[in-house]
Structure 1
């Protein structure tokens, strides 16, 4: 799975954090959540942390879902 990319964030004077993905706003964090995000993003891989906080990451079940009979295309 490729590493997440295209994320950026801005911290505002009031403590609010805005996370964007490819120039579009993905989420806004305020208060305690913004503080926890700021601590975590500086200590790890920033792109992966932002992907996780926005929910924009793969869950690992894509292959299982693709192979489910309901999702397979008819061959014939």
Structure 2
């Protein structure tokens, strides 16, 4: 699995899911949140899903940066 953003996850026997970013624990999901995460992970890009669930996603300047002449 390619990890362009450095996210990975591990599912534990108790049903919890630990999402790590570059080797450090970013968040732990338990119960129904862990189930929702795993369901969403199957239908979308894994790296973007993990970024969104950890809160390091879309700070508001993406559209502005994409439209800047330097980035075209």
The TM-score, its normalising length taken from structure 1, stands at 0.72
Deviation by residue 1:12-52 (Cα, 9 ceiling, x = unmatched):
01100000000000000000000000000111000000000
> Max radius of gyration: which structure?
1
Gaps of 5+ in 1: 65-76
Local SS of the residue matching 1:26: strand
Q: Please, what is the CA RMSD of the aligned residues?
A: 1.8
Number of residue pairs matched by the alignment: 61
Higher helix fraction (1 or 2): 2
Dislocated runs of 4+, deviation >6 Å: none
Residue 38 of structure 1 corresponds to which residue in structure 2? 38
Unaligned ranges ≥5, structure 2: 65-72
TM score, norm. by length of structure 2 = 0.76
